[in-house]
Structure 1
């Protein structure tokens, strides 16, 4: 139904790579539950980060994330989004 992935240095920063929820289960609370579980798992890590598509910013704000001021995500990639 859903999957969330994270990468952490174990001390300072955890980065949530992606959150996937099957379309037929979106809007049922699965995504919020997965984020909540990851935040609990990494509760002792000082910085928790996610790069969200503009359309998903509101979802992550509801999960407790805040937009960074004067920050821009940057990439070197061959993937098209």
Structure 2
């Protein structure tokens, strides 16, 4: 049985971040040096570890009183369906339990997971992105 340890840290090795982000095929994994800086800047970072292996993480930013935004939630596919993602979301919900709102942008295939964690899909809003700033 795998024993997952959860840590609230902001310092990560580039390789750990690269491996985790690329495990879920996120292009940001190609920029581990930027991810290292981003982790230091997030208000909340909770990571999941199997021994020395980074297997999951959730990162959130907030305005200090009303709204928190979950920016990253990812779990290595080898460790999915083990309750790690739900545990990470629950930790963020505990941290921000006095806030008015926790916001997450979920892709269509993720909506069911987020709803199972207590999030509700907005009927009158859609996420908007600018992602190709460097092209």
Q: TM-score band (shorter)?
A: over 0.9
2:106 is aligned with 1:72: no
- Cα distance between partner residues in 1 of 2:130 and 2:78: 32
- Cα distance between partner residues in 2 of 1:69 and 1:53: 15
Which residue is 2:109 aligned to?
Answer: 55
Query: TM-score by structure 2 length?
Result: 0.57
Cα distance, 1:47 vs structure 2 = 1.0
Q: What are structure 1's unaligned runs of at least 5 residues?
A: none
Residue-by-residue CA offset, 1:16-68 (whole Å, 9 max, x unaligned): 00111111100000000000000001101111100001000000000000001
- Return structure 1 stretches of 4+ with deviation > 2 angstroms: none
Q: What are structure 2's unaligned runs of at least 5 residues?
A: 1-54
Aligned-residue CA RMSD in angstroms?
Answer: 1.1
Query: Quick check: which one's helix share is greater?
Result: 2
2:74 is aligned with 1:20: yes
| Residue-pair matches, total | 79
